A and B are shown apart, each in its own frame.
Chain A
């Protein structure tokens, strides 16, 4: 069975500092990995995905994530956080053996960026 863990319920960071949101996963085969963000009163918005190839994936709004197969991690990063990055972030995994694409999500990490 596949699973996703986001070990931090909340991450606090000052504006301008680096932001990291952690995610580890467990799947039976090779994974597709995704990050989504939810702003207040909005739906989940796609940030980026890892399918294959380069382990460093760049996405929307200056975010990037690094796929580490040995550590089964896919941490989300941003070099310099903005107050507007304050939101709820979800990591998700899809097993390649699942041809129909349902996502397995983590519990979410609330990011708070202070001015």
Chain B
């Protein structure tokens, strides 16, 4: 079974540019989460999709971040325009619908560097 995949693995952009991160969850997983780890600190929740619907986007830092999940399959996270403080590792995770203690399966992350 294929795991959660993320693309690209690394991205280096200049302040003011746009970047789009992609996440492909495990097939059949309706829950999809985005998290971010900045500057070696804790991993922080960004948002949660159930199928194609945003269930919880309380962790999104500001309106420069836009997440979509077309057709309830893969998801994209766009940062426009990128700022220096957006640098970090962006993780995607997926899980099956059901009890909230279902484990989340994480992708390898996308390391974003904004110069």
Contact = CB atoms under 8 A, between A and B. Distances in A.
Contacts of A104: 45
A100 B100 contact: yes
A101 to B, nearest CB: 4
Given A36-B106, A43-B91, A43-B107, A101 B100 contact: yes
Contacts of B45: 102-104
Contacts of A108: 40, 42-43
Interface residues of B, number: 29
Interface residues of A, number: 27
A103 B104 contact: yes
Interface of B: 3-4, 31, 33, 35, 40-45, 48, 50, 55-56, 59, 91, 93, 95, 100-109
Given A43-B4, A107-B41, 20 more contacts: A4-B42, A32-B101, A41-B108, A43-B91, A44-B43, A44-B106, A90-B43, A94-B101, A100-B48, A101-B31, A101-B100, A101-B101, A102-B45, A102-B48, A103-B45, A104-B45, A105-B35, A105-B43, A107-B42, A108-B42
